[in-house]
Structure formats: C-alpha cells, structure tokens
Structure 1
Amino acid sequence: MISSDNSYFNVPHEFTAYLEPWQQESLPDETALKEMQSVGLKLITEVKELENACLLQLRNLDNEAKAVVDFLKLQSRKVDLVLQYVLEKETQHGQKHPGLSFGGSGFTISSATPLTVGQQFKTTLYIREELINILCIATVIATSSEDGVHRGQLEYSAILESDIEQLVQASLRVQQKQLRARKQAQAGS
C-alpha cells in the first residue's frame, strides 16, 4: 500500500494503461489487491520477486562470477519477455489509454474523454520496454484539455510496495536512457 507522504518524480515515457471505474467505497488492502491480479500478473510478479532476491545474493560474489550473473540476467530477460507476451494476450478490462509519464507516485495519461478530479480507477499499467505490468487503484488528481486532447494526472491510492519499487527503478532507468540519448544527440550536433 502507499502512504501519502511518498513523492517521486515522473519521467516522460509511452506506455499503456487500462482504466476501469472503481465503484467500491473502500480501497483494497495488499491481500485483496493481490487477489485482484490476473494469473499472468501474479506469475510475472512472483518471477520478478524471485529474480530480485537472487540477483541481490549474486552481487556479493567476486568478479569471476560476473559472467554467470550476466548469463542469469539474460535468462531472466527471456522469461520476462515470454511472460510479457502472455500478459498482452490476456483479455484486458477497462478503457485503453496512452500513457505519457510515470513514476513511483503516479502517472499521466491521454484520454479521448475528460476525466474528473477525484475519480478512482482500477488500473493496469503496461510499460513494455521495462517489462512492467502492475495492477493498482489510482485517483485522478489533476486534469487538463488542449485542442480536444484530455490529460489526466493520477496518483496511486492502492498499490503493492514491490510495484512502487519496480516503478521507481524503471523511471530511473528510463531517465538514464534519455540522458544518454540527449548527450549523444548533442555530441553529434
């Protein structure tokens, strides 16, 4: 679950979000949130948790084990890609929206219809390049419209702590890639 004092930056990046109105009065606790996950989401979450625990132990090995660590990372990436493919084939619930930015506190989407501040949605986020698939409850905290395009800024109201960690790490990786690309573009000018 998330506390209101957590504030992380958002990084511009394209992704897909499925939003389904949350009609219930109370937010789910961590157990209920896990039960709401599809089989595919549960599977990829468990694989990521096992992978992170294993990689932490492997980092303590000496330099000679670097080849083994690199090989295991490659194997892990292959498993993640297969699971991502399986998840993309699952039936999605809710309306599909293009994502504009994300981070550990929330995300921004584009919408064909206006959103209302305070609306809550059961949300599934798919950040393909980072192999992240997350189920959460999100609340609209700000909206804007320009040239018939509506934007909504949402913050997580109910999300697993491990998912926040994944989002924060992914936002840092995306930011690093963007900074490298900007440096290369400036060097090429």
Structure 2
Amino acid sequence: MSELTLEQLADAYQDYFSVEHSISLNIRPIPGPLPDEAALLNAIPPPFLLASEANSLNSSALRSLNRLGELAEELANYLQQQARKIDLLLHYVLRQQDNDAHRYTSLSYGGSGCSYLADSPMDTLQVVEIKLFLDNNDGAVFCYGQVLSCQPQQDKWQVTLVFSRIREEDRELIVRASLHQQSRLLKQHAQRRQQQTQG
C-alpha cells in the first residue's frame, strides 16, 4: 500500500470488523511520506518482534500436540503454563515501550485501524507511528497509519486512523484480539440479560 487518497483510505478502513473497546495506544505524527515496508521492518522495536515470534511459536507448538493422543492434554496444559509465564514477562517488557507523552486510549480498533480522542486536531492523510498494546497479554503491534478523519467531539477531537503500513501477522493478531474482545462482550451481554430475566 503506497500513498493513498482519502477515498482509498476510507475503503481500506471498511475491510475489517472493528470493536468498541479501550486499549492503550501510542500515536506519534511523523513528517514526510508513508515509510515503505523496509523502513517499517527496520523501525519495529525488538520487544515487538520478540512478542510476535513468541506468539507464533506458542500456536505452532500447541497445534503439533494434537497428534500425540492421550498425553497431549497434560502436555498442552504444561506448555500453556510456561507460555503464560513468558507472556507475563513479555507484557512487562512491552509496557516499557509505552510512552506517556504519546499515550491515548482507543475508542475502537480492528484489523483496518483504530479511533481515539485527542486534545488537538490532526490533518487528514497525516502519517503517524502507532503502537497498540492489546489487552489480556494478547501482544502489541508497531505499525504506520494515516489519519482518515478528525471530527470535533465536545472539547476534544475524534481521530480515526487506518493502518497503512503493517505486517500481515500483526494485522492478524489485531483481528484475533478484536474478535476475542467481541466474544467477551457478547458473553457479558448475554449474562446481564439472563440476570435481568431471573431478577
């Protein structure tokens, strides 16, 4: 994806489902054109690459256990506990990448982009560096985006960003995290409705 028009950005934003949920974001405007793929790969901080690699290793290890039969369940439980320890450590390391000066909280996010409230407006098509810190130790993503829209919202500005330069495995991570969050929200909603009918 090279330099896009506003219309192309709007189309790209519709490509994936989005969930309304608060996660921590770091948004930093950067000057000049959208960096290319090579520049993105060079700019990704090592902890983000480490977290991504650990995530894919966990998934592939658990998939291969399915062929072991009866012992697989116990072994899978053990490996999941070990993975949980590593996740907690990685979560701590990733949080060191969270910069107070650039921190915002998302209104929504998904595979195409995210939205948040800012104190000051941004120009459409402005290129930004984005760090997303997903909930429940789901990982973190570093990518570049562009401002799709910036609308006044009371005394703030609602900024909508499109992920214009992102690794596919990171997009998949965001999609999985947003689907998990949607599933949790639906479950909570169902439980509330059940409690209301019982009460």
Specify whether residues 171 and 186 from structure 1 end up closer, same or farther in structure 2 by C-alpha distance, changes over 3 A only. Answer: same
User: Which has the higher mean CA deviation after the structures are superposed, 59-68 or 121-130?
Assistant: 59-68
**Equivalent position of 1:119 in the other structure:** 126
What is the alpha-carbon distance in structure 2 between the residues aligned to residue 90 and residue 73 of structure 1?
25
Structure-1 separation of matches of 2:15 and 2:67: 31
- Which is higher, the Rg of structure 1 or of structure 2? 2
Rounded Cα–Cα distance in structure 2 between residues aligned with 1:94 and 1:49 = 31
More strand by share: 1
The answer as to 2:157 corresponding to 1:147 is: no
* 1:105 partner letter: S
Match of 2:64 among 54, 57, 82: 57
In 2, are the aligned partners of 1:134 and 1:163 still within 8 Å (CA)?
A: yes
Tell me how far 1:126 sits from its aligned partner: 0.8
Count how many residue pairs are aligned between Structure 1 and Structure 2.
Answer: 188
SS at match of 1:14: coil
2:116 to 109, 124, 127: 109
Query: What letter matches 1:97 in structure 2?
Result: Y
Indicate conservation of the 8 Å contact 2:13/2:113, yes or no: no
Q: Is there any run of 5+ residues in structure 1 with no aligned partner, and where? A: none
Alignment of 1:1-189 (within 5 A): 4=12, 7-29=15-37, 31-62=38-69, 64-90=71-97, 92=99, 95-189=102-196
Give the structure-1-normalised TM-score: 0.88
Distance 2:18 2:98 in 1: 28
1:67-89: CA deviations, max 9, x gaps?
32132122212211111111212
Q: How far apart in 2 are the matches of 1:22 and 1:40?
A: 21
For the Cα contact (< 8 Å) 1:120–1:138, is it kept in 2? yes
Residue by residue, what CA displacement relative to the aligned partner does 1:42-74 show, whole Å, maximum 9, x if unpaired? 221221122222223224443541232132122
Letter of the aligned partner of 1:127 in structure 2?
L
Q: Secondary structure at the match of 2:90?
A: helix
CA contact (8 A) 2:20 2:107 kept: yes
Distance 1:186 1:132, change over 3 A: same
Deviations 1:86-106 (A, max 9, x none): 121246386211111111111
Once structures 1 and 2 are overlaid, which stretch shifts more, 46-55 or 146-155?
46-55
Aligned-pair CA distance for 1:159:
0.2
TM superposition shift of 1:28: 2.2
Q: State the percentage of identical aligned residues.
A: 26
TM-score normalized with structure 2 length:
0.84
